[in-house]
Chains A and B, each alone.
Chain A
Amino acid sequence: MRITRVLGAALLALGIAAGPAAADSSPSPSASADGAAPTRAGTSFRTATEIRQGQQATASGSTGDYLYWSFPADTGQRPTVKATVKLPAAHGAQSWQIDVYDGLRRRQACQYGAATRTAEQGASSVELACVLRTVRGWSEPWGNDPLPGTYYVRLTVVDLGSADLGKPVGVEVRADSKDIGGAAAVDGSLAKPLVPGIAVKSGQDGGGSKPAVLSSFGSDDGWSSGWWSDRWVWTAIGGVLAALAGVGGYALTRGSGRPSRVPPNV
């Protein structure tokens, strides 16, 4: 294993150009084959509507509903979830909130962004945002770091007057991510992304046309393998520069050309 890695490293140092291309070809696993953005939302983790990153999902619901979406996030990405709630014409003050959960249904902290916001009486809309931490390739089981896999977004009203319950609202949700790159590259990788139900999925295939799965972001949907990062390039360039500097240093000690005091024919 180690030998293959070392060999891989050597090969990479020789042909760096191939690497980034391979890494870029799989920016994010796709949720569905068709390009249309979903126009509904789920109401639980099990029924969460799957969206892709960069897709503007819309849904109509009622104040008080718990609306769920899920999207895939891969190693090195720092996802940002944004939501806009269009409120009915007349309403009292109410607070809306987005919560993001990872594939293990652990709540993920927002680094920044207004994840909870209060709409004043009569406000026409409220905008929420949550910037997650960078997704790591691996973490210790005792840590709560974001790992590649499914992420759930839950949008709901957390504080409202009882007269506002059940009023129609329109919702827009979008997940994007910033590529952090090698700065977040850690050693090690998960064998399978944190996609719930991934261990039972293969057994259920075949039969029905649309098999029910907890999350369809599968293991072969173009997740990054975890071995590529721009650290290879930095290290390789560093090696080359070190070699050049070594040659330079050596040359300094030799001076230029043949020393004048050495007689010919020696």
Chain B
Amino acid sequence: MITRQRLAAGVCALLAALAAGIAFPGGAVADETEQAAPKVELVLDVSGSMRARDIDGGSRMAAAKQAFNEVLDATPQEVRLGIRTLGANYRGNDRKEGCKDTAQLYPVGPLNRTDAKTAVATLQPTGWTPIGPALLKAADDLNGGTGTRRIVLISDGEDTCQPLDPCEVAREIAAKGIGLTIDTLGLVPDAKTRDQLSCIADATGGTYTDVRHKQELSSRVGQLVDRAADPVVTPVATEGAARCEAAPTLKSGLYTDREQFGQQRWYKVDVDPGKELRASVSVADDRAVNPDYGVLLRAVTLHGREIVRGEAAGTGRTDVISTGLRYPKPESDDDNAPAETVCLQVTNSFSAGPGVKTTPGLPLELTVDVVDGPSGHHDVASFGLGRGWWLLGALVLTGFLAGLLWGWLSRWRVAVWRTN
């Protein structure tokens, strides 16, 4: 009896172990791909103005629905797609209520095309245009995971829920989330709508598109969803210090930080002898800035001596200003020579115009690579070799003169020998 119980227990344990063994790796892999899956949320304005019939003879809503259907059909398998509406439900005139009106039409997750299309088909142009609140909610929807995150906002009018400026909202979202981009599309927009939507896009490194035809809408939304499916390196958030001593030590990789106007950011990197440090930094202007700007990246020793710097300055319209530097640390004769701590200082000379918020800071992207050092450089030319007709002429002349000299010498020697 006891034996039989033991046997049963053993079999159970074995089965459990097997099941776990089968289940675990699969689960882990699924989790990993789920974690890294790119997430996209389409945010559609369903306000009353979408009834206007000015896109290829049809209503804006009809154009949006058709575009959504086409995009849903073409969405890549790995993309987790969600749909959120704004102004879809509240018909009343109460601004406070109307500005809360945003709902998730289809949750972010593996796409069931039929369900998603059915949900889209039910939409009727209804209410207000609470862009700011909708963006905040959409950012929440996309929370979690390590993949890229993208919001595609389609609207035909400016936000009707001031004082919450959707442009500020977008900047706040970009400041807290990593790698979240908002692309905006304006349906037959007026100047104000265009300004607002392009401001939202600029704040997050996204794009703004002006749509006047059905075809443009579906191809552009499809393009943006496709873009989200491209694997992209997600930067690691770090926070630089105001002094080198307190700075975080970085290894090779891609980092992101925020830097306010006129602020200094310090980071540290350990460089072994015979290695080369490569660092590049980009500071993006996610708001309206004055048209002349620059960025400076300095590599400094712990004692404050500057080793090398990278600097860039620019003028006019730009998304980013960037520079980089290389620092090859010479080989050491001592095998146990310690790594050198190099301080990296980043400063920018962007300046904000009047009335532009200075917080949060500008997005900063830092790439650090520590690789093997370069070899050579004892001579200007490759291995000290020569090239060209002057070289040939000089060699021929030298050879000829040497031959002559040798010949005369040997004649003279023969003559001397004979006289003796």
* B376 touches A (CB below 8 Å): yes
Contacts of A197 in B (CB 8 A): 233, 252-254, 367, 369
Is B407's CB under 8 angstroms from A167's CB?
no
For residue B396, CB closer than 8 A to chain A, the reply is yes
Question: Is the beta-carbon distance between B374 and A190 smaller than 8 angstroms?
Answer: yes
B402 at the A/B interface (Cβ < 8 Å)?
Answer: yes
Contact with B along A36-64 (1 / 0, CB 8 A): 00001001111100000000000011101
* B383 touching A5, Cβ below 8 Å: yes
Asked if A16 is at the interface (CB within 8 A of a chain B CB), the reply is: no
B310 at the interface (CB under 8 A from A): yes
B288-330 contacts to A (CB < 8 Å): 308, 310, 312, 316-320, 322-328
Q: Which residues of B contact A158 (CB under 8 A)?
A: 316-317
Cβ contacts under 8 Å, B197 to chain A = 166
Q: Select the stretch in B58-66, B83-91, B203-211, B350-358 that faces chain A.
A: B203-211
Contacts of A22 in B (CB 8 A): none
Which A residues touch B194, using CB under 8 A? 162, 165-166
Q: Are B324 and A105 in contact (CB under 8 A)?
A: yes
Q: How many residues of A contact B (CB 8 A)?
A: 84
B223 interfacial contact with A, CB 8 Å: yes
Q: A230 — which chain B residues lie within 8 A by C-beta?
A: 387
Tell me whether B100 is interfacial, beta carbon within 8 Å.
no
Q: In the bound complex, do residue B387 and residue A182 qualify as a contact, i.e. CB atoms below 8 Å apart? A: yes
In the bound complex, CA of A158 to CA of B317 (Å): 5
Q: Judging by beta carbons under 8 Å apart, are A46 and B191 in contact?
A: no
Q: Which residues of B contact A210 (CB under 8 A)?
A: 231
Q: Which residues of A contact B36 (CB under 8 A)?
A: 208
- CB < 8 Å neighbour of A186 from B282, B381, B410: B381
Contact A212 B232 (CB under 8 A): yes
User: Is A104's CB under 8 angstroms from B403's CB?
Assistant: no
Of the candidates B198, B223, B233, B387, which one forms a contact with A214 in the assembled complex, judged by CB atoms under 8 Å apart?
B233
* Given the contacts A166-B208, A249-B402, A186 and B308 also touching, CB distance less than 8 Å: no
Inter-chain contact A101/B322, CB cutoff 8 Å: yes
Report yes or no: B317 in contact with A159, Cβ–Cβ below 8 A.
yes
A65 at the A/B interface (Cβ < 8 Å)? yes
CB distance from A36 to the nearest CB of B (A): 15
Chain A residue contacts of B327, Cβ below 8 A: 141
Flag if A47 contacts B276 (CB, 8 Å): no
A216-266 at interface with B (beta carbon < 8 Å): 226-227, 229-232, 234-235, 237-239, 241-254
- Selected from B226, B317, B325, B367, the residue in CB contact (under 8 A) with A40 is B226
A81 to chain B, nearest CB (A): 18
A residues in contact with B411, CB < 8 Å: 253-254
Interface size on B, residues (CB 8 A): 95
Q: Are A141 and B326 in contact (CB under 8 A)?
A: yes
**Do B254 and A46 touch (CB < 8 A)?**
yes
Query: Does A211 sit within 8 A of B, measured CB to CB?
Result: yes
The chain B residue with its CB closest to the CB of A193 is B371
Residue contact B382 to A229, C-beta cutoff 8 Å: yes
Q: Please tell me which one of the listed residues B191, B282, B372, B374 contacts residue A105 in the complex, with CB atoms under 8 A apart.
A: B282
Complex contact B392–A62 (CB within 8 A)? no
Contact flag A231-B320 (CB < 8 Å), given A46-B365, A106-B310, A196-B369: no
Q: Decide if A118 is an interface residue (CB 8 Å cutoff).
A: no
Contact A238 B395 (CB under 8 A): yes
Interface contact B276-A191, CB-CB below 8 Å: yes
Cα–Cα distance between A199 and B235 once the two chains are bound (Å): 15
Q: Which of A62, A163, A186 contacts B208 (CB 8 A)?
A: A62
Residues of the B chain whose Cβ atoms lie less than 8 Å from the Cβ of A110: none
Q: Provide a sorted-by-A list of 13 A–B residue pairs whose CB atoms are within 8 angstroms.
A: A5-B383, A60-B219, A65-B207, A107-B322, A107-B323, A162-B191, A166-B208, A182-B387, A191-B276, A192-B371, A246-B403, A248-B400, A253-B404
Interface positions of A (Cβ within 8 A of B): 5, 9, 40, 43-47, 60-62, 64-66, 101-107, 137-138, 140-142, 156-159, 162-163, 165-168, 182-183, 185-192, 194, 196-200, 207-208, 210-214, 226-227, 229-232, 234-235, 237-239, 241-254
**B interface residues, Cβ below 8 angstroms from A:** 32-33, 36, 181, 186, 189, 191, 194-195, 197-198, 205-210, 216, 219-220, 223, 226-227, 230-235, 252-254, 276, 278-282, 308, 310, 312, 316-320, 322-328, 365, 367-388, 391-392, 394-408, 410-411
- What 18 additional pairs, Cβ within 8 angstroms, besides A106-B324, A234-B391? A9-B383, A44-B205, A46-B232, A62-B209, A64-B198, A66-B320, A106-B322, A182-B387, A185-B387, A191-B372, A198-B369, A207-B32, A214-B367, A230-B387, A241-B395, A242-B398, A242-B402, A254-B407
